[in-house]
Chain A
Amino acid sequence: MNVLGLVNYWAFIFLMMVGFYILISQGNLIKKIVGLSIFQTSVFILYISMGKIRGGTAPILMSEGDPVYSNPLPHVLILTAIVVGVATTALGLSLVVRIHEAYGTIEEDEIHDHDLA
């Protein structure tokens, strides 16, 4: 098993887990959405790093030379995912605004208290 070849995956998993921790430990709804987008971006980096070939170049065809191109397929999938991610963020933030209008707060604890009272 080549440990050095896996270290970059572990670094991206660490970033993912920081985002996940922000998402589940913070009571503030905006902070939760930021944590979700950190998680998303880290997954994107993980995907893109799988498409990288050592010594490769960006997959734009060149007429001269015989270059090695990195795998274009993960790039395409992540382009779609980035745009879907911002749509999710926009919808989440507008839900936060709506919750703030209904409860007057964006702290999860206070919303629970409000519901129980």
Chain B
Amino acid sequence: MLAVTALALLKLRNLFAVAMLAGIYSLLSAGLFVALDAVDVAFTEAAVGAGISTILLLGTLSLVGHDQKKSTRSSVVPLLVVLVTGSILVYGTLDMPPYGDPGNPAHHHVAPHYLEESEHEIGIPNVVTSVLASYRGYDTMGETTVIFTAMVGVLLLMGGVRRREGSATLDGKPDREGDAHGG
């Protein structure tokens, strides 16, 4: 189903439909995350990927129009690049441990420590939360810095647009507020 959605995205030229399908793709992958035991990731993906991203896309479309022109360039070179990259990646998976095997190396480094000790050390039943906020707290702080930087960038770019348009036509469009806020 994910593959069908992705292929439909490739073919569609109405960008509103593309935005909606991108949201559906995020929602489907959130369902897949639940099936893979990652409930925290699933609701973040549903809220951020399917929600905020779609709002950002729609806000942009309201500013730039929603029809894609037919491309004249050839698709042979991109297809070749994609096929080569894909086969290199498939070659890389040949050494990967099989899916779902409890003996995979990834499950025998720090993960058992988190699962066994975090209840005494942190005291939160949700292991993902205690790893995110405590063991890897610096990661989360770096993430906040990234979001702050991105927000400053968006505000600088969009603020410039608003000022110039405002001085030229004297009607500010409210759509842009959503964009700046979401970033």
Bound pair (A, B): yes
Size of B's binding interface in residues, CB under 8 A: 94
Contact partner, A38, options B22, B41, B93, B182, Cβ 8 Å: B22
Size of A's binding interface in residues, CB under 8 A: 84
Residues of A contacting B127 in the complex (Cβ-Cβ under 8 angstroms): 59-61, 69, 72
Known interface pairs A21-B82, A94-B154; A30-B102 also in contact (CB < 8 Å) = no
A30 near B93: Cβ-Cβ < 8 Å = no
B64 near A96: Cβ-Cβ < 8 Å = yes
Give the distance in Å from the alpha carbon of A10 to the alpha carbon of B3 in the complex.
12
Closest Cβ–Cβ distance, residue A82 to chain B (whole Å): 5
Nearest CB in chain B to that of A2: its residue: B98
Residues of A contacting B89 in the complex (Cβ-Cβ under 8 angstroms): 13, 16-17
Known interface pairs A5-B99, A37-B53, A91-B154; A50-B104 also in contact (CB < 8 Å) = yes
Residues of A contacting B10 in the complex (Cβ-Cβ under 8 angstroms): 18, 21-22, 26
B132 near A6: Cβ-Cβ < 8 Å = no
Interface residues of B (CB under 8 A from A): 2-3, 6-7, 9-10, 15, 18-19, 22, 25-26, 29, 32-33, 36-41, 44-45, 48-49, 52-53, 56-57, 59-61, 63-65, 68-69, 71-73, 75, 78-79, 81-83, 85-86, 89-90, 93-94, 96-102, 104, 106-107, 110-111, 114-115, 118-119, 125-128, 131-132, 136, 139-140, 143, 146-147, 149-151, 153-154, 157-158, 160-161, 164-165, 179, 182-183
